[in-house]
Amino acid sequence: MKHQKSSIIYLIIVAILFLAFVVVFDTFPRTKISQLEKRELATFPEFSWESLANGTFTSKVSSWFSDSEPFRDELMTLSMQIKDLIGIAPTEDNIKFHAPEPTAKADPPKKEEKKKTEEPDDSADDNSETDENTMEENAKIANAGIIVIGKDQNVRALMAYGGEATGCTGYAEVANYYKQTFPQANVYCMVIPTSIAYYCPEKVKKHTKPQLPTIRNVIAHLDPEVKPVNVYFTLKRHKDEDIYLRTDHHWSPLGGYYAAQTFAKVAGVPFKDLKHYEQHVVHGYVGSMYGYSKDISVKNAPEDFVYYIPKDVEYNTTYIVYSINKNYQVTGESKPAQGPFFYKYKDGNGGAYCTMMGGDTKITQVRTSTQNGRRLMILKDSFGNMLPGYLFYSFEEIHVIDGRYFTKDMVSYVNENKITDILFANNIFSAYSNSTCNKYRKFINQQWSKSPEKREEPKADETVEKSEKHEESKNSESSKISENSEPTDSSETSESF
């Protein structure tokens, strides 16, 4: 009798739990945006008899149902906590692998290497192993490409790099192309390394490839008239400082400061040290690598996002803000309007990387009180956002253009704005991508036609930021930011890149 009662109670509990799950998953509001994964989730598909007949409608409904489950982020966090207790065990060096070894081949060099003077090689501690299994498509961030090292508050997430020493020639060639197109302008080429170049433990080097050979290959393929900005050794000298974010795939504002200093030296313009800046801190920052790695230890190791605002130079910022659709295509643009260069974020806000300019989907024009006739245009990905704030003392005007969203005719833009200096500043993953290089090429004499999708023009003081779709698969989410105010959402625009 006792056994029978226990069985009945057990069945009742199971039935209640089952009904609770049914009620939650079938009746509660579906999740639209994952803050954890930093992306918009699947939406309910549009019905058509054709899609029903060929099975795509039911397949998309199934994907929508599983992707947009209620309390998605909370359930994923719980899952990560359980995995942290019983799942992936770190090695004795506190290393956790979330990635297979890279398997790909690089694009072959398209012309003979030209020798170019650069700093001496002091990279004896870099991973110099050669490996034949890499491909261009591997030279990009992916959920399966994360290595987590360290413990407690020293946890750091790294992206494995898969690029070849002979790759990235397209980036050099597009810089050469711009110099040929704009012979009157100074053209500079910067490849920004990622954190794994400096913080990779010895035991992990078989899972990644060295970045210095790729950077050297870019420099070797630059025409003599194009000026290389090699920040690899600059950053290496400061690797014991917080030049990269531990919980994000980006570098930190301090890393951007040292790179901007190197660029200013190459460009022959004045540069002020950090004594001329006011330090600000966003405490409790957890960046993109938590969502990419799905490792709870990253979330449990928040860091300070430290940035610097110039004190004794005048500047005003004008934005042309793009609206983009779900396919990351530009569908409209705002009229030029002024806004802040530095946006303010609360402690713990995961969108703090957007402090400079509020994100990527815009053209930024900064006019400063520096009167030297030098007008800089930066062609960049999200890493490049850390540079312009340190160059207000160096240039009269700074124009910041993201390589994913520019719609104007570059020749007209450069001539109309009297650009004297053009800097390519992209992280090594983006620079390695043929897609990035092709877009920069298409900017020359491009004729943009607005997408037929009807969409309201964005207001300059209300920007909708989306993270980059890096090589057709970058996670994103929306954020809305008001001038001189706290953002209403905690999006991280990246990078991606």
* β-pair type (146-149, 95-98): antiparallel
Task: Specify the pLDDT at position 119.
Answer: 43
Whether residue 210 lies inside any domain: the answer is: yes
Task: Specify the pLDDT at position 112.
Answer: 42
Whether residue 43 lies inside any domain: the answer is: no
pTM comes to 0.73
Task: Specify the pLDDT at position 69.
Answer: 67
The phi, psi pair for 44, rounded to 5°, reads: -65, 130
* β-pair type (375-380, 330-333): unpaired
Alpha carbon 227 to chain centroid, angstroms:
25
pLDDT tens, 202-231? 988 888 999 999 999 999 999 999 999 999
Bigger pLDDT: 420 vs 72: 420
pLDDT tens, 265-292? 999 999 999 999 999 999 999 999 988 8
Cα–Cα distance between 180 and 249 in angstroms, integer? 34
Cα–Cα distance between 228 and 266 in angstroms, integer? 8
Length of the chain counted residue by residue: 497
Asked if 337 and 188 touch (Cβ cutoff 8 Å), the reply is: no
Whether residue 388 lies inside any domain: the answer is: yes
Burial of 276 (0-12, 13-18, 19+ CB in 10 A): middle
Whether residue 269 lies inside any domain: the answer is: yes
Task: Specify the pLDDT at position 346.
Answer: 96
Asked if the model's pLDDT at residue 433 lies above 60, the reply is yes
Alpha carbon 88 to chain centroid, angstroms:
27
Cα–Cα distance between 479 and 343 in angstroms, integer? 13
Domain of residue 194: give its range. 136-482
pLDDT tens, 114-128? 444 444 344 333 443
Question: Residue 450: what residue type?
Answer: K
Bigger pLDDT: 53 vs 466: 53
Asked if 464 and 478 touch (Cβ cutoff 8 Å), the reply is: yes
Cα–Cα distance between 279 and 333 in angstroms, integer? 33
Give the confidence band of 83 by pLDDT, cuts at 50, 70, 90: low
Whether residue 154 lies inside any domain: the answer is: yes
pLDDT tens, 330-384? 899 999 999 999 999 999 999 999 999 999 999 999 999 999 999 999 999 999 9
Task: Specify the pLDDT at position 292.
Answer: 84
Mean pLDDT within 159-178: 96
Whether residue 325 lies inside any domain: the answer is: yes
Whether residue 421 lies inside any domain: the answer is: yes
Quote the number of domains for the chain.
Answer: 1
Burial of 61 (0-12, 13-18, 19+ CB in 10 A): middle
Mean pLDDT within 70-91: 59
Task: Specify the pLDDT at position 28.
Answer: 64
Whether residue 221 lies inside any domain: the answer is: yes
Mean pLDDT of the chain: 79
Torsional class of 73: left (φ above 0), alpha (ψ -120 to 50), beta (otherwise): alpha
Q: Which residues of 154-171 are buried (b: 16+ CB within 10 A; e: fewer)?
A: ebbbbbbbbbbbebbbbb
Cα–Cα distance between 76 and 380 in angstroms, integer? 33
pLDDT tens, 287-312? 999 888 888 899 999 999 999 999 99
